[in-house]
Amino acid sequence: MSKVSFSEEASVEVVTESFADTPDPRLKHILTSLVEHLHAFVKDIEPTEAEWEQAIGFLTATGHLCDDTRQEFVLLSDVLGVSMLVDAINNRKSVAATDTTVLGPFHMVESPPRDLGANISLDGNGEPCVFAGQVRSSDGTPLAGARVDVWQANGAGYYDVQQPDVQPERNLRGLFETDERGRFWLRTVVPRYYPIPDDGPVGRLLTATKRHPNRPAHIHVIAEAPGHASLTTHVFVEGSPYLDSDTVFGVKESLIRPVTNVDDPARAEHYGIANPFRLIEFDIILDPVRP
Amino acid sequence: MSKVSFSEEASVEVVTESFADTPDPRLKHILTSLVEHLHAFVKDIEPTEAEWEQAIGFLTATGHLCDDTRQEFVLLSDVLGVSMLVDAINNRKSVAATDTTVLGPFHMVESPPRDLGANISLDGNGEPCVFAGQVRSSDGTPLAGARVDVWQANGAGYYDVQQPDVQPERNLRGLFETDERGRFWLRTVVPRYYPIPDDGPVGRLLTATKRHPNRPAHIHVIAEAPGHASLTTHVFVEGSPYLDSDTVFGVKESLIRPVTNVDDPARAEHYGIANPFRLIEFDIILDPVRP
């Protein structure tokens, strides 16, 4: 026994020493940091053996619920704010650029390329509206040919992949390209707030902590343009319930937009919608990639 | 938006605030501490989005491998030293009392009651030996009628539950009661070191960090006596490989015992074994429960 024995005091030293020969320095750093923080957590809460067994059971149930269409560990990361934290760390940006927020678990299928003005609501479930904006570089230059990937839940609060027997395939998804002035526009429906799946361990956690499972109404956007950093965000609908208590902490005030009523026959014709119409406008500012 | 928006700086404040209405104060404390330590870990390592996805995938694969006979999250807790830390926190004891160590995942069936001197090796796989000792209170008083629960792997390094088609049921398990002088003795085989199951995510973690999956040879013991704190421990076999690098950090120097050669016809007859014989002696000291 040349080494230090395990004890409360020596626990971090003993366990990090076991990772001393890890060839990949990044993996070694991650595991060393994990052991430091995980042991500090255990020492802080001093779990009983029964509480430790509950934790093992919770993680096991979370794993068992994961399959091709349900990712309960992503939900757990979401409701603990870890997903937003990883997003924040990976998207430090200029003041000018549009704020980012989480990707979410529903970008699991590719959005189909569509022409500007197309209607992505294939089931007609929800209140029709236009979603339009301009993509610009952080110096104000309009970005022609930028790609704008859009997806959202329908008027009942469900994504197509959650209701494969009800909604048409690729309902409420579209990949658009901005025009020569950097503009995009499309027809859709006003999104609705919805609960994250709450019939599993994460739902039980929310119930036990008196948290609701809801996300405020939003449209997902990924914007990309040559020479610019890709941007993943949402636009949130002003006035939606749960804007001040999004269960995944995704809301940023800068991303909230009203649904306005527009009475303008020329614009209605441009958008291919009956006048008057409802409109959500959202301009997107991208940072150039540093050389 | 009355609340603070999510940001790197405000992440702990925003997420712990979401648990403010948790009715159970213990759960609230655990979740608050979890968020503090988990966010500190994420801020320390600054994971890329791909690394976060790898972590989600690792946890998911760990959950998928858990079933009635395999508990991969317990293995993960073991190889990260968390199981030993929980053991240490829950078993702070007097200097006199025997050191504790982990329960391990193989106490999943009840040990059958057996008479003192019984042979628990039903498959005869391994080198025969006697396992004997005395249970005493921390003031030295022998504890008659104490219960000594013993289980171990066979000479090939497997527990009965790992080889249901090979080993007899309840092989190498027994529940004994000490005699009027607090003594217990039984026949068994010298245990062998063995690898923890290493064909899953935890095994891949060990491989990536150049850690071996082995535990040194040991016999598991739970000792209980009226008026005393129950004690869960192992006796480790002196000279076994991996005593200085147990992959679950279970070894304490105070728990290592030699396998001695005994040439004593009277003792051999007492133990019901042919002379000469091999012997592992292990006295167990229990703390009285504080009034």
- ipTM for the complex shown: 0.90
Q: Is A38 on the interface with B (CB under 8 A)?
A: yes
Select from A7, A63, A82 the Cβ nearest to the Cβ of B38: A82
Pick among A12, A21, A48, A52 to test the B interface (most B CBs inside 10 A): A52
Q: CB burial class (10 A; 0-12, 13-18, 19+) of residue B129? A: buried
How far is the C-alpha of A207 from the C-alpha of A202, rounded, in Å?
9
Residue A9's pLDDT band, with cuts at 50, 70 and 90, is: very high
Using the structure block, give the residue that is written with the tokens 């796989």: B125
Q: Which CATH superfamily is domain A77-286 in?
A: Aromatic compound dioxygenase (2.60.130.10)
pLDDT of A12 over the 60 cut: yes
Cross-chain Cβ contact B19/A85 below 8 Å: no
A55-103: pLDDT as tens digits: 999 999 999 999 987 899 999 999 999 999 999 999 988 889 999 999 9
Looking at per-residue pLDDT, the higher value among A187 and B69 belongs to A187
Using the structure block, give the residue that is written with the tokens 């927020």: A101
Tell me which chain B residues have a C-beta less than 8 angstroms from the C-beta of A15. Answer: 80-81, 249
For chains A and B, what is the number of CB pairs under 8 angstroms?
220
How far is the C-alpha of A140 from the C-alpha of B19, rounded, in Å?
41
Backbone angles phi, psi at A285, to 5 degrees: -110, 125
Select from B56, B77, B85 the Cβ nearest to the Cβ of A73: B56
Task: Give the minimum alpha-carbon distance from B274 to chain A in angstroms, rounded to a whole number.
Answer: 34
Tell me which chain B residues have a C-beta less than 8 angstroms from the C-beta of A19. Answer: 209, 211
| Residue B53 vs residues A41, A78, A118: alpha-carbon distances, Å | 23, 13, 33
Q: Give me the pLDDT at residue A4, please.
A: 74
pLDDT of A129 over the 80 cut: yes
How far is the C-alpha of B228 from the C-alpha of B225, rounded, in Å?
5
Q: Give me the pLDDT at residue B3, please.
A: 65
Contact between B104 and B75 under an 8 Å Cβ cutoff? The reply is no
Task: Give the minimum alpha-carbon distance from A205 to chain B in angstroms, rounded to a whole number.
Answer: 10
Backbone angles phi, psi at A96, to 5 degrees: -70, -35
Query: If you write DSSP's letter for every residue of B39-82 in order, what string do you get?
Result: HHHHHHH---HHHHHHHHHHHHHHHHT--SS--HHHHHHHHTTH
Name the strand (E) or helix (H) holding B284.
strand B284-286
Contact between B278 and B127 under an 8 Å Cβ cutoff? The reply is yes
Average pLDDT value over all residues in chain A: 95
pLDDT of B2 over the 50 cut: no
Q: Is B135 on the interface with A (CB under 8 A)?
A: no
pLDDT of A29 over the 90 cut: yes
Q: CB burial class (10 A; 0-12, 13-18, 19+) of residue B175? A: middle
Q: Give me the pLDDT at residue B251, please.
A: 95
Tell me which chain B residues have a C-beta less than 8 angstroms from the C-beta of A82. Answer: 38-39, 42, 52
Task: Give the minimum alpha-carbon distance from A187 to chain B in angstroms, rounded to a whole number.
Answer: 28
Which among B39, B51, B38 is positioned nearest to B9, based on CA atoms?
B39
Give residue limits of the domains in chain B.
Answer: 9-46, 77-286
pLDDT of A2 over the 70 cut: no
A142-177: pLDDT as tens digits: 999 999 999 999 999 999 998 999 999 999 999 999
Up-side HSE of residue A77: CA atoms within 13 Å toward CB? 25
Contact between A135 and A143 under an 8 Å Cβ cutoff? The reply is yes
pLDDT of B203 over the 70 cut: yes
Residue B1's pLDDT band, with cuts at 50, 70 and 90, is: very low
What percent of chain B is modeled with pLDDT above 70?
99
Tell me which chain A residues have a C-beta less than 8 angstroms from the C-beta of B83. Answer: 52
Tell me which chain A residues have a C-beta less than 8 angstroms from the C-beta of B210. Answer: 21-23
Residue B53's pLDDT band, with cuts at 50, 70 and 90, is: very high
Using the structure block, give the residue that is written with the tokens 């030993």: B84
Select from A34, A64, A253 the Cβ nearest to the Cβ of B63: A64
Q: Give me the pLDDT at residue B291, please.
A: 67
Cross-chain Cβ contact B56/A77 below 8 Å: yes
**In B, residues 213-242, which contact A (CB 8 Å cutoff)?**
none
When pLDDT is averaged across residues B85-100 and rounded to a whole number, the result is 91
When pLDDT is averaged across residues A189-199 and rounded to a whole number, the result is 95
Average pLDDT value over all residues in chain B: 95
